[in-house]
Every structure is written in C-alpha cells, then in structure tokens.
Amino acid sequence: MKGSKKEIKIELPSNLEPVFSNMIQITHKDDEFCLTFVHIMPNVSVGKVKAVVSITPQHAKRLLKALKENIEKYEKIYGEIKLVEETKRHEGVEFM
C-alpha cells in the first residue's frame, strides 16, 4: 500500500555499550554526510573519536527534521536549552 508505514523491529546487540560525545565533526561529499563523534576531557587538548557514522544526504535532512521536532518537544516539557556559546557571545566572548 502506498503511504502505509511498516513496523520495523530493531534489535540492540547485548554487548553494545553506549558512548558519550561532547563534540561532533560533520563533513560531507556529494553522496554522504559523515558524523564523527568525539569525546574531549576537560583540560585536555586531544579528543578521542568514539564513533563515525556515515549517512546519505536524504537521511541527514531527515535527521535535521527529527532533531528539530524532538528539541521542540523537549523544550516544551523542560524549558529552553541554553547554549554556553550564546551566553558567552552576549558577554563579549566569541566562539568559533
């Protein structure tokens, strides 16, 4: 049927461990976006790559839409997410 949604079963491997990332590097070429998830410890100048995920441009756009929708839902429940770089910019400090 056109337009109907199929249920997809997603299996999570029992040995899969969650990772924490506090920085994401995004690169792209004509047929993929590459998301490199990095963890940087405080007061350390070298970050450790935790995962690299490549997706199609179409999935990148779907991810953007899904993140926007979920951030809006989150902020309705928990309030506005404040970004440090926006606070610092107002105090005269610029982030790159």
Category of 43 on φ-ψ map: left (φ > 0), alpha (ψ -120 to 50) or beta = left
Report pTM: 0.75
The burial class, CB within 10 Å (0-12 / 13-18 / 19+), for 50 is middle
> CA–CA distance from 77 to each of 70, 71, 85 (Å)?
11, 10, 23
Of 19-28, 46-55, 84-93, where does mean pLDDT reach its minimum? 84-93
User: In which element (H, E) is residue 37 found?
Assistant: strand 32-39
Tell me the pLDDT tens digit for each residue of 61-72.
999 999 999 999
Q: How far apart are CA 84 and CA 69, in angstroms?
A: 22
Residue partners of 35: CB distance under 8 A and separation at least 6: 24, 25, 26, 52, 53, 54, 55
Name the average pLDDT for the chain.
Answer: 89
Q: Give pLDDT, residue 96.
A: 46
